[in-house]
Amino acid sequence: MNSSFIKENSISNESGSALIAVLSLIALASVLTVSSITFANKTSYLSESFYQKAFTSYAAEGASARIQWLISSDRRKYPQRTLGVNTSIENKQNSIEVRFIADGVWHSVNYYGMTVNYRITDLASGIDIGGPDAIVNLQSFASQYEGDKREAYVSFINKFEDYTDNNDLVRLNSLESDSYRALNLYPLPRNSRMEFKEELLWIPGALEFFPPDDKGKLSLIRLIPPQNMPRPSSANSFFSTDMSLVSTLAGLSEDESSIVNTAREKWINEGIDLSLSLDVGLMTKLRSKFSFIESGYYTIDINTAAEDSIVSKKLVISGRISSRFTNPGIRYYQYFSY
């Protein structure tokens, strides 16, 4: 074979191999470049997300602290805490002074460039299932049910009573320790007063009558104070109590319930006095069952989100707030961040 042919063929093969190697390196470099850019973008996105989450969290906590001070200041400035009466006050600059009262109205405040929405309600609201009158309070809610639904509710009350009493006697259609063990719910029942309102959901049938609201909270049930902390007054705040409970406890007809709900919405949205929307008879009914004076125990709902971001933070805190802060400061009855 011609030696020149062999040499040319060898050179050709070497050139082809070199080309493949160069192309492979270029392809590898391209992949690494794209990967680096993708990783950098992902890192940047995650960093921005973490930053926004942290910022909204701090903003929610900071705003809640500021609102607590403002409630205290409002209590000191206006010791009369009656709700449902227009308390708008014009200051020297002819602008309406913002009040910090437990009327359930949503407001917004600018907190270091971020719009923070907040609402103040009264902790004294809902069915009290943690006190000595828990059974009586649940029974008062039975009047809204009829037929099989009422029987199911009575059965639930029996289960609640067996859950909280200190004996093993089983009431009609109820459960005791053996039944809870069969349901893999040992060591239930508690056989004592409830410590957390959410444990109500451990009792079979509770969800049928007390489902969580759209925020995941048992809004029909009153918060149970932690041990060794004072309890709010037993009377439910009218503006902080769920409307279905208002109708039931006040014994309102369907038409009356609609009128009362409209009046409450007018107060919340327009600041119109209840006395201008409700007749004396309805007001008397409501005042006999509900309180229109703040209890001094507040729940603050915070909802914050950066205007250019979908990242948001919700904070719910409850505590006793007076006209001045003393040691050990505010002790929280609940503190939920989500």
**DSSP codes joined into one string, 80-112:** --B-SS----B-TTS-BPPP--SS--EEEEEET
Q: Tens of pLDDT along 38-96?
A: 665 555 555 556 666 777 888 889 999 999 999 999 999 998 888 887 755 444 444 56
Given a cut of 70, whether residue 293 has pLDDT beyond it is yes
Q: What is the mean pLDDT of residues 115-144?
A: 91
Surface-to-core class of residue 61, CB atoms within 10 Å of its CB (0-12 exposed, 13-18 middle, 19+ buried): middle
Confidence (pLDDT) at 183: 92
> HSE of 141 in the Cβ direction (CA atoms, 13 Å)?
23
Among the ranges given (27-31, 131-135, 140-144, 283-287), the one the predictor scored with the smallest mean pLDDT: 27-31
Terminal alpha carbon distance of the chain: 83
Q: What is the mean pLDDT of residues 313-332?
A: 86
Surface-to-core class of residue 88, CB atoms within 10 Å of its CB (0-12 exposed, 13-18 middle, 19+ buried): exposed
Given a cut of 60, whether residue 181 has pLDDT beyond it is yes
Confidence (pLDDT) at 154: 94
Among 8-12, 57-61, 262-266, the range of highest mean pLDDT: 262-266
Confidence (pLDDT) at 92: 41
Tokens representing 208?
A: 């049928």
Confidence (pLDDT) at 267: 86
Confidence (pLDDT) at 35: 66
> HSE of 165 in the Cβ direction (CA atoms, 13 Å)?
15
Asked whether the bond before 211 is cis by omega within 30 degrees of 0, the reply is: no
**Those residues with Cβ within 8 angstroms of residue 319's Cβ, 6 or more apart along the chain or in another chain:** 68, 297, 298, 330, 331, 332, 333
Q: Tell which wins on pLDDT, 18 or 187.
A: 187
Q: What is the mean pLDDT of residues 26-47?
A: 63
**Separation CA 241–CA 244 (nearest Å):** 8
Given a cut of 70, whether residue 176 has pLDDT beyond it is yes
For residues 137 and 128, the answer to whether their CB atoms sit within 8 Å is: yes
Among the ranges given (83-97, 123-137, 206-220), the one the predictor scored with the smallest mean pLDDT: 83-97
**Separation CA 216–CA 1 (nearest Å):** 88
Strands laid side by side in the 312-320 sheet: 106-111, 114-122, 297-305, 312-320, 332-337
**Separation CA 186–CA 120 (nearest Å):** 39
How far does CA 306 lie from the centroid of its chain? 20
> What three-state secondary structure class fits 224?
coil
- Calculate what percentage of the chain has a pLDDT beyond 70: 80
For residues 209 and 153, the answer to whether their CB atoms sit within 8 Å is: yes
Among 26-35, 118-127, 309-318, the range of highest mean pLDDT: 118-127
Q: Is the pTM of this model over 0.85?
A: no
Taking the CA atoms of residue 73, residue 77, residue 83 and residue 86 in that order, the dihedral angle to the nearest 10 degrees is -120
Confidence (pLDDT) at 91: 41
Confidence (pLDDT) at 191: 92
Among the ranges given (12-16, 143-147, 179-183, 325-329), the one the predictor scored with the smallest mean pLDDT: 12-16
Q: 208 falls in which pLDDT band (50, 70, 90)?
A: very high
Q: Which residue matches tokens 């639930």?
A: 156
Q: Tell which wins on pLDDT, 141 or 237.
A: 237
